[in-house]
Every structure is written in structure tokens, then in C-alpha cells.
Amino acid sequence: MLSSRAAVVVIFCLSATLVHAADERPGQTFKAGDVSIYYEILGSGAGTPLVVANGGPGFDHSYMHLSDVWDTMAKTRKVVLYDQRGVGRSSPVAAGASCTLRDQIDDLEALRAHIGVERMDLLGHSWGGYLVMAYAARYPQHIERLLIVDSAAPKIGDTVFLFKDVFPEGVGREDADEFAGQMGDKAAQGRSLREYLSMLFYSPERRDAALAKMTNVDENREVNEAIWKDLQRFDLNPELPKYHFPTMVMTGRYDINVAPVVAYKIHKAIAGSEFVVFDRSGHLPFYEEPEKFVKTVEGFLAKE
């Protein structure tokens, strides 16, 4: 996920333990260079596998299980979710070890090779949207279709945050707790993160239901800061016109974390791409409008 929080959290991600059976989902690990990567495969259908990169950086994929859209789509194809290096059930990044955009791209490529597919459908949410755009620029031969959901801007500094304009009182509380957290108040640090998360939804009812399902919300700031620093070196804008595979760009109409104009500009830069707006969603349309999300994605993936 992308967040404005002291330039620390970049693109929506709830690294949360969900009070849900999703915590018990069976998964596996494999070696990718010097780290172990945890992944889950849902379903066993014959369709092209859909690999999903979650937001962050510095969060695991557990927030994706707030919605059962992945289980629904797994009825016709394999859906693969994974924890990026250094977070969740993947191995920690050792002190002094590399944690860069290139590492993240290499890990995603290693996952593709490990599951044994030549071409995959690839979906990225928030920071994951940036990651899949970068992966697609480097490995276009392995992309069947690309789905970019509420993504950060291709040049990370161009990402538009709306928190202070729409939720000034929430940002005030968040900043106060963030400062207290930096002074050693762990409870305040947790409140700051939850304040941030509370601003990601269109529906107050969906917001409250999501927050109630999450406990021990946390983020790996070392991973976040390492990748966020590395991203300043890159500009993916020149790469987007080179995409020659079907691409869909999606956004929540009320995404405060990444303003919809960011998605629209990505769409305009990719010739022939489709642009879809979820009018009753914030940063998580797969959670707030699951039926429309499934219909939209499955319709796109089914096209010849």
C-alpha cells in the first residue's frame, strides 16, 4: 500500500494477522537466492495461473485474504499469492543483505520459474502494482496479461496522496501518534498505523468490518525504507509504451492512498489498455466491491 506516513509506508499494505481461517492456509517455501519465499497456490484449474503481488513494501500478503475473490477465481485457474522477501512467512533479510527493487523482481521471476509456468497473468496491488510494472518491463515474454490495481505512480515521487486533504483530523492524530511512537511509545505506533488503515475505505461499514478482522497489525520498516530509498532511482514511464500484452488498470474512485489520476495516467501511457473505476471503493476494490471485481477480472482474463 502507499502511505503518506513520514514517507515510510509507500503503498497500501496491511501486514496483519487476520482473525480468519486464512491464517491456517497451507503454503510452501522455496529458495530464491539467499532467501526463502513463502507462497500459496489456490485452486488447480487449467486456466493460465494468476500470480498476485501485494502492496507494501514491508507487509505480507495476509490483507489480500480480507476478500474471498481469490478463492472464487481459483475455481478455474491457479491463483498464487506470496510473501515478499523479509516479511511474513518468507525469511527475514539478514543484516547488511540486499533488499532492492531488483531483488523483488528477481524473487517474482524465481517464483514463476518455481511453479513451472512459461507465461502467467500477473496482478499487482498498490506497491505491488509498481512491482509488476517493473517486472513486466524486464520480463515481458512471461506476461500473458497484466492487471494493475490502485498502483503507485511509475515514478514513485509522482504518487498523489490525498490524506491531508480529505482526512486532516485523521492525519493530525496519525502524526501525533507517529511522533510518540518514535519516542518509544509502542502503543502509539500501533495507533498511528491503524489510523492510516482506517482512511483506506469508501464504506465505514466495510472499514469497521476489516479492522475488526485484523489483530497485531505491523510493518517491517527496515524493508520498507530500503525499498523506498531504492525506488527513488527509477522512472518506469518510458517502459509503459513498450507493453504489447493486454493490460487492465483499475482504481477505486475514492482511493485516498493513491489518487485515481495516477491510474488514469498509467492507462493513458499503455496503448490499448483498459481502464476500470470502482465507484464504491477506496484503496481495496477487491474487498469493497468483490462481485464487480471478480466479474471484471474474469472477463478480462477470458478474452482471446
Strands lying side by side in the sheet with 35-42: 28-32, 35-42, 77-82, 47-53, 120-125, 143-149, 247-252, 274-278
Residue with cell 482504481: 251
Mind listing the pLDDT tens digit for each residue in 15-52?
444 444 445 667 999 999 889 999 999 999 899 999 99
Least confident of 56-60, 100-104, 130-134, 200-204: 56-60
Mind listing the pLDDT tens digit for each residue in 239-269?
999 999 999 999 999 999 999 999 999 999 9
Distance CA 54, CA 51 (A): 10
The reported pLDDT for the residue numbered 270 is 98
- Select from 70, 240, 221 the least CA-distant residue to 151: 240
Over residues 132-138, mean pLDDT = 98
From the number of C-beta atoms within 10 Å of its C-beta (0-12, 13-18, 19+), residue 28 rates as middle
Cα–Cα separations (whole angstroms), residue 67 to 2, 64, 179, 288, 290: 19, 6, 33, 8, 7
Where would I find the beta strands (DSSP E) of 54-142?
Answer: 77-82, 120-125
Residue 9 predicted with pLDDT over 90: no
The reported pLDDT for the residue numbered 23 is 52
- State the distance between the two ends of the chain, measured CA to CA, in whole angstroms: 31
The reported pLDDT for the residue numbered 201 is 98
Distance CA 202, CA 256 (A): 9
The reported pLDDT for the residue numbered 304 is 76
pTM above 0.75, yes or no: yes
The reported pLDDT for the residue numbered 2 is 54
Distance CA 304, CA 300 (A): 9
Mind listing the pLDDT tens digit for each residue in 173-192?
999 998 888 898 888 878 88
Above pLDDT 70, what percent of the chain? 90
Residue 130 predicted with pLDDT over 70: yes
The reported pLDDT for the residue numbered 7 is 39
For 15-48, give the DSSP string: EEEESSGGGG---EEEEETTEEEEEEEE---SEE
The reported pLDDT for the residue numbered 285 is 98
Residue 6 predicted with pLDDT over 90: no
Mind listing the pLDDT tens digit for each residue in 49-101?
999 999 999 999 999 999 999 999 999 999 999 999 999 999 998 888 899 99
